[in-house]
Homo-oligomer: A and B are copies of this chain.
């Protein structure tokens, strides 16, 4: 009974203390300027903010839009409620007759008013955000621009030392991304990544204005993608029947991404990295030979069987059917074909393949790879999809169709043929290819968190990701420059699963996000470190367990502390289903929302419902 009472007290009283963010510098006074709690990440192209404040009444902030019936806007407004008003934190309600109250937020489309369905490479993400005369206005030419502006608006809000929600008055932001392709690559094959974590990761991507989820779906280790055409691929190739992405899961992830302005680009990596296919379709895979015997694995050289068998026609019919299915199920006009790391020793070890090469006048494994690539590129051309490939296949001088995107991941340490990724970008763009950069952004290569140089003992790990300039060696036409589409932060999954994905990736991947969104001259790591630290606290307030990048603290909403939001239903997708409401006809008011989120509230509501039920019975009884 004591317990129940306690529960009720929790339900009724939300009188919590929330703490300000400050820093303590010790011994090594950090260079740079402290960040305001509302510093925007990634930094906008132009920003002017006054010093005077407007108060926000959680119960009175109306949100309007001239795109009322667009589900993307309606759901975004719903989603941002617990972001504007963190559900576990206490906030004071300023009196309604106060002068300086923000009246409303309007999200307006300029020009052709339409609710687009999917963001695309060339979608317009620019927006203007102004706060003037107690009215906040986001204007954009597309729903995607509105989403980016809404995110910026949410970052401008903060809880001040007196526990009021405030925002600076007279804000003027003109913003647009520097690069069009700003991605994150996750690998769900080395370890299965639960759907709930992928969705949380999509949330963090949207908080960083990233717009591509490159999904490395399958690999040697497992085949978690449940194909409708070839169900045996995952039946035999997934770790277990629990470690699969069902069609519903995939659709769920695509929809989650769509609502946040994120493209999902699936990768089906062939002809290497295909061991897991052999569990159901051994006929597709090359049997490796050694000492005159088939099925011979040699430690660190080859497995028993690996790499597709390019001489096998069923390889191409299977790929044709599978890529068609992928194209149907993923709205993206791009498919990543992989084509990396084809270690040809196994091909050459197999006498049948050697014979086939001779018969077909293919005199090197390079040409064999080219033969394979040509067949697959034909398939892709037939289904009108633009291919993306890892750079390896171009390194092998395979001619790629115009528009192909080459993903650069090697550096001089991997391939002595080019001096650096920068010169590679330069060359590829000037030769007419589209390129995206990943070489300096393999976030899985973790290190201690800081590194020493003569100049500093506090070079933070993220500096390495941040101090990358994609165009550093570029010289060429503006047209060629446009072909450098952007880049991706990659998190390979050998040592990553649900336990550590979010804390390992964030806020480091945010450094890549700012590099790809903001102006090239936003490049001062020592200024950025404080802004990124404030941003990581912001992520904690949104239920993301982003790890610390500096000594210090955020507040009582840290993981494990009394107001933590890490497991809050507003920011999680594992157990409770989010219910999302449609925007009403003339603007959505937050009138029904207290300082706790609606989700939190409805959860606790059970108890109240029960209580009322009981009281009702008692009343009924007395009669």
- Chain A interfacial positions (CB closer than 8 Å to B): 4, 7, 17, 19-20, 24, 26-29, 31, 190-197, 220-222, 239-243, 275-276, 297, 299-300, 302-303, 306, 444-450, 456-457, 494-500, 503-504, 540, 545-549, 551-553, 555-556, 558-562, 564, 567, 574, 606-607, 609-610, 613-614, 617-618, 620-621
Contact = CB atoms under 8 A, between A and B. Distances in A.
A99 B302 CA distance: 49
A27 B275 contact: yes
B446 A445 contact: no
Contacts of A297: 27, 29
B614 A302 contact: no
Contact of A548 (B302, B497, B609, B621): B497
Contacts of A620: 617, 621
Contact of A303 (B27, B497, B564): B27
Contacts of A239: 24, 552-553
B450 A447 contact: no
Contacts of A240: 19-20, 553, 555-556
Nearest to A19: B240
A548 B499 contact: yes
Most chain B beta carbons < 10 A, residue from A193, A197, A547: A547
Task: Indicate how many identical chains form the complex.
Answer: 2
A243 B561 CA distance: 9
Given A24-B221, A27-B275, A194-B559, 14 more contacts: A17-B242, A19-B241, A28-B303, A191-B551, A191-B553, A239-B553, A242-B555, A242-B556, A444-B448, A496-B548, A498-B564, A500-B547, A610-B613, A621-B621
Contacts of A618: 617
A167 B191 CA distance: 29
A93 to B, nearest CB: 23
A466 B181 CA distance: 43
Given A239-B24, A240-B19, A448-B446, A194 B496 contact: no
B196 A560 contact: yes
Given A300-B457, A445-B448, A457-B300, A192 B499 contact: no
B26 A220 contact: yes
A500 B500 contact: yes
Contact of A614 (B26, B450, B617): B617
Contact of A559 (B497, B547, B617): B497
Most chain B beta carbons < 10 A, residue from A276, A446, A559, A609: A559
11 contacts: A27-B306, A29-B299, A191-B551, A192-B561, A240-B555, A242-B556, A446-B448, A499-B546, A499-B559, A500-B504, A617-B618
A537 to B, nearest CB: 11
Given A239-B24, A553-B191, A613-B614, A494 B621 contact: no
In order of increasing CB-CB distance, the 3 nearest A-B pairs are: A194-B560, A617-B617, A449-B495
A241 B17 CA distance: 10
Contacts of A303: 26-29
Contacts of A614: 610, 613-614, 617
A300 B455 CA distance: 9
B503 A222 contact: no
Nearest to A560: B194
Contacts of A7: 606
Most chain B beta carbons < 10 A, residue from A241, A498, A552, A607: A498
B560 A495 contact: no
A25 to B, nearest CB: 8
A32 to B, nearest CB: 12
Contacts of A495: 448-450, 547-549
B27 A497 contact: no
A495 to B, nearest CB: 4
B503 A499 contact: yes
B26 A221 contact: yes
A456 B194 CA distance: 31
A397 B29 CA distance: 32
A216 B553 CA distance: 17
A192 B558 contact: yes
Contacts of A275: 26-27
A547 B221 contact: no
A439 B300 CA distance: 32
A6 to B, nearest CB: 9
A30 to B, nearest CB: 9
Given A19-B242, A621-B621, A552 B221 contact: yes
Nearest to A224: B553
Contacts of A613: 610, 614
Contact of A190 (B4, B194, B551, B564): B551
A307 to B, nearest CB: 10
Nearest to A30: B299
Contacts of A567: 567
A613 to B, nearest CB: 6
A496 B340 CA distance: 35
A194 B494 CA distance: 29
Contacts of A559: 194, 197, 497-499
Contacts of A547: 495-497, 499-500
Contacts of A498: 545, 558-561, 564
